[in-house]
Structure 1
Amino acid sequence: MRITALKTSLAGVLAAAELITTTATADGDRDLTAEEQTDFDAKMTEAAGIQAKIGREEQVLKLKASTAAPIVVGTPAGGPGTVPAVPAVALPAGTMFTRITMSLAACNMDQRAAADHAEQVWGTETGQIVANQEQSTNVRGGFLINTAYSADFVDLLRPRVVVRRLGARSIPMPEGNLTMRKKTQGTTAGYVGERQPAPTTDVQVGTMSMSAKTLRALVPITNQLIRRASIGVVQMVRDDLLEGVAVKEDAVFIRNTGDTLTPNGVAALMLAGNKLTMTAQPNLVTVTNDLMRVRLKVINSNVPMISCGWIMSPRTKMYLETMRDGNGNIAFPEIGANGTLYGYPIGMTTSVPDNLGAGGNESEVYFGDFSQLLIGDTEAVTIASSDTAAYDDAGVMRSAFSNDETVVRLIAEHDTGTRYAAAFAMLTGVTWGA
């Protein structure tokens, strides 16, 4: 358990160090500034210290393994026998996280009972894993799932959350805080003669700090499912848990105006000058012109254009997909063929509303290089459950006890930031398809 946590911390430190060198490379492959070099050296020192701790832990485990005795199953004529090694079967991603959750929920968060339940239903390995979970000190009645299984769960969110799917970078943030450099203005290089000093570039950098914000998701699960042990049921429960977190992440990471409790979304992180207004009277000419304006805002900012994409509502995507030119031909055939627009993938989500503006019929379209969006994940998920709680179901209060359900509460921690705010632009007041 401790080795897993140490390796996660090491990954976070190395990721921060790599960002320092990547920034310099992107700025014309320049040398590190004095301050950047100091930050880099500090990260390397910290990494070396963590690596030394990992080495000591691995040495202890190796010595323990050397003292383990084989399990004797009989004494045939040829000598004592042992149990032959059986290769472990790889479980689908998120399975162990869900088994832990289901066991704790089935036993009303009683860890000892949950460990016995897990051992009876899924075997000794799962029972031992449940028994070794760490009870959280900051969430009463909750359990902090070990990082190895929480990280597996967080990785599964990538295809379900639009900004993650389009290429936002997940940065390990095991300590809950991360500070790094970000670029606020591009680099200008120049040619020089022999033995002449290099020109001073106009790159400007700032500081970006991320601190863990707490996301709570309530997911009701029928007790019939919790009592079942098949892999199909486990995957169904896993998908329910993922959906509960993904829906909220999707809305927050796109449009949220952050504060001390919530992360900023893409709309709040981009430059004010990159928020454009739709041209009135949409037609093929004005629509293509507006799409060009949004792209140019990003392209002219000299961002790397590593992982660019669009975010829009289903109404907007369907409008563009069915739009025709004067000859009756589909104007954007690639949308229907492969889900791209001008070669860039489209992230369609209902988290972009269609009821904005004074008339209640406006929407938004986003474009950007999502490799410049960072999501700091603590990669730790805390769970709690109750079979007597009440929850809000689209404005209707429901009782878990009356419905024979167990409400599982997941708590995840993360924050967002951009390496380059000019990497994103948006079109507001969009009435396409209204």
Structure 2
Amino acid sequence: MNINELRRERAAINQRVQALAQIELGGTALSVEQQAEFDQLSSKFTDLTAQIARAEAAERMAATAAVPVDPTPAAVAAPAAASVPSQPKAPEVKGAKMARMVRALAAARGDAQLASKLAIERGFGEEVAMSLNTLSSSAGGVLVPENLSSEVIELLRPKSVVRKLGARTLPLANGNITIPRLKGGAIVGYIGADSDIPATQQQFDDLQLTAKKLAALVPIANDLIKYSGANPNVDQLVVNDLTSAIGAREDKAFIRDDGTANTPKGLRFWALESNVLKASDGSTLQKIETDLGKAILALENADANLTQPGWIMAPRTFRFLEGLRDGNGNKVYPELTNGMLKGYPVGKTTQVPINLGEAGKESEIYFTDFGDVFIGEAETLEIDYSKEATYKDAGGEVVSAFQRDQTLIRVIAKNDFGPRHVESIAVLSGVTWGA
């Protein structure tokens, strides 16, 4: 019996032990026979673990003590081949373990135990196999262990403009979190010799974040799922598809969703009405300068902390500003080449619409202190799959995963979004620059 067979036998024993434990957790006492079976399986599990450890140790010792085989006479007579320098091991793709888990689960049609065996056979790694072996299923799919989910969630930062610009993340304990905020300041004043000291009373409010379900559908070619090796290019492709789908939908929610239909409320609908500023037609450089200055001034006048301010705009607006030149032919905003505008970082995303207004050509520019906005998120992801489901592509056409030889992966994350102080958001509306 080889080491992989020992591991499979141990996994089967663990499955039976867990089943017996669930009986007792459900309030039913184990029978004498079941208790005896539990003890026997526990002992066998311990023995197998020790046996696997010895086999692994033997493999390591064999590798350490290995010596080259005596060369054949022909090999001795042949000239020495040119030495090939050793190549450093390529670093593992971030999120690769999650990608391999998705591939194994889809290949096993949702059977976690079979997926665990496939993970070992395909060289996906012990951690992936162990995680699959301990997956907890629910009606909506399987909950991915936190150690694998957190790696993928961290990869959302470069994919989501709001995250990349510095929005802070907080864990949603039991699906909720409350962040206190100062609403009104203390009363302070100078007093005379016989005057009363002014009463000092600060006013507080709360930012309440509640878990809202975000679902992303990610079609993956069955050829990638069938691929039996642990290839970094395959892992990278799957991870990119997963994170790009989630990141794009998050940006839409965090920027322009209105908080209805169980969606987060985005920056546009958190902003105070007085901080939604009408932009000019941008026909002169001075008008554009004035508009951008108004957005910055809105936060400065509100005494915003400005710990991590930044801009969000549509690519159309970004390219218009980048292409502006003065009377001498010099770029007006050369720093845009480095992703900065007036000293603050810029994020561009197609999630800022360019078809607003009656004429259908208006857009928006956001200036926000991202150090003052928060993303509350559950630290686990839920995944499910289907080979028969249909979905709508980017053009709105209904596509059959079965006809395309694809597997449709559904990833569910839970999060919410909001600013600690609503004064930290300014919006330039009616932007037609570059239209």
After TM superposition, give the deviation of residue 281 of structure 1 in Å: 5.2
After TM superposition, give the deviation of residue 92 of structure 1 in Å: 3.2
Deviations 1:160-181 (A, max 9, x none): 1111000000101141111221
After TM superposition, give the deviation of residue 182 of structure 1 in Å: 1.9
Read off the aligned partner of 1:310 and give its amino acid letter: W
Q: Find the counterpart in structure 1 of residue 276 from structure 2.
A: 275
Q: Find the counterpart in structure 1 of residue 99 from structure 2.
A: 98
Read off the aligned partner of 1:224 and give its amino acid letter: D
Q: Find the counterpart in structure 1 of residue 74 from structure 2.
A: none
RMSD: 2.8
Instruction: Normalising by structure 1, report the TM-score.
Output: 0.76
Q: Find the counterpart in structure 2 of residue 71 from structure 1.
A: 53
Distance 1:82 1:176, change over 3 A: farther
Distance 1:179 1:260, change over 3 A: farther
Is 2:172 the counterpart of 1:173?
yes
- Answer whether contact 2:307 2:369 (CA < 8 A) is retained: yes
- Report which stretch shifted further, 200-209 or 251-260: 200-209
Distance 1:404 1:74, change over 3 A: closer
- Answer whether contact 1:311 1:367 (CA < 8 A) is retained: yes
Aligned partner of residue 204 in structure 2, secondary structure: strand
After TM superposition, give the deviation of residue 402 of structure 1 in Å: 1.2
- Answer whether contact 1:72 1:83 (CA < 8 A) is retained: no
Read off the aligned partner of 1:72 and give its amino acid letter: R
Read off the aligned partner of 2:321 and give its amino acid letter: L
Q: Find the counterpart in structure 2 of residue 13 from structure 1.
A: none
Aligned partner of residue 158 in structure 2, secondary structure: coil
Give the paired residue count.
Answer: 357
Distance 1:188 1:346 in 2: 38
Distance 1:386 1:334, change over 3 A: same
Q: How does 1:264-343 map to 2 (within 5 A)?
A: 264-280=265-281, 282-336=283-337, 338-343=338-343
- Matching residue within 125, 128, 143 for 1:126: 128
Aligned partner of residue 206 in structure 2, secondary structure: strand
Distance 1:75 1:254 in 2: 54
Is 2:340 the counterpart of 1:358?
no
Distance 1:90 1:330 in 2: 40
Read off the aligned partner of 1:218 and give its amino acid letter: L
Percent same amino acid among aligned pairs?
Answer: 39
Distance 1:115 1:346, change over 3 A: same
Distance 1:422 1:197 in 2: 33
- Answer whether contact 2:281 2:433 (CA < 8 A) is retained: no
Distance 1:92 1:187 in 2: 51
Distance 1:72 1:83, change over 3 A: farther
Q: How does 1:421-432 map to 2 (within 5 A)?
A: 421-432=422-433
Is 2:207 the counterpart of 1:225?
no
Q: Find the counterpart in structure 1 of residue 12 from structure 2.
A: none
After TM superposition, give the deviation of residue 89 of structure 1 in Å: 10
Deviations 1:75-106 (A, max 9, x none): 99xxxx7999xxx9974321111111111111
Read off the aligned partner of 1:71 and give its amino acid letter: A
Q: How does 1:186-197 map to 2 (within 5 A)?
A: none
Deviations 1:217-247 (A, max 9, x none): 1110000011223121011111111111111
Q: Find the counterpart in structure 1 of residue 137 from structure 2.
A: 135
Structure 2 gap ranges (5+) = 1-45, 65-88
After TM superposition, give the deviation of residue 126 of structure 1 in Å: 2.2
Aligned partner of residue 374 in structure 1, secondary structure: strand
Structure 1 gap ranges (5+) = 1-63
- Answer whether contact 1:72 1:82 (CA < 8 A) is retained: no
Read off the aligned partner of 1:130 and give its amino acid letter: L
Distance 1:329 1:208, change over 3 A: same
Q: Find the counterpart in structure 1 of residue 86 from structure 2.
A: none
Distance 1:305 1:281, change over 3 A: closer
Q: Find the counterpart in structure 1 of residue 399 from structure 2.
A: 398
Aligned partner of residue 433 in structure 2, secondary structure: coil
- Answer whether contact 2:217 2:411 (CA < 8 A) is retained: yes
Deviations 1:253-302 (A, max 9, x none): 10110125100101111211100001245310110001000100011111
Q: Find the counterpart in structure 2 of residue 247 from structure 1.
A: 248
Read off the aligned partner of 1:178 and give its amino acid letter: I
Distance 2:327 2:188 in 1: 46
- Answer whether contact 1:73 1:82 (CA < 8 A) is retained: no
Distance 2:56 2:303 in 1: 71
After TM superposition, give the deviation of residue 187 of structure 1 in Å: 5.8
Q: Find the counterpart in structure 2 of residue 370 from structure 1.
A: 370
After TM superposition, give the deviation of residue 189 of structure 1 in Å: 5.8
Read off the aligned partner of 1:268 and give its amino acid letter: F
Distance 1:388 1:131 in 2: 26
Distance 1:75 1:346, change over 3 A: closer
Q: Find the counterpart in structure 2 of residue 24 from structure 1.
A: none
- Answer whether contact 1:210 1:416 (CA < 8 A) is retained: yes
Read off the aligned partner of 1:129 and give its amino acid letter: S
Distance 1:364 1:75 in 2: 63
Instruction: Normalising by structure 2, report the TM-score.
Output: 0.76
- Answer whether contact 2:214 2:412 (CA < 8 A) is retained: yes
Greater Cα radius of gyration, structure 1 or 2? 2
- Answer whether contact 1:184 1:421 (CA < 8 A) is retained: no
After TM superposition, give the deviation of residue 128 of structure 1 in Å: 1.8
Read off the aligned partner of 1:362 and give its amino acid letter: E
Q: Find the counterpart in structure 1 of residue 421 from structure 2.
A: 420
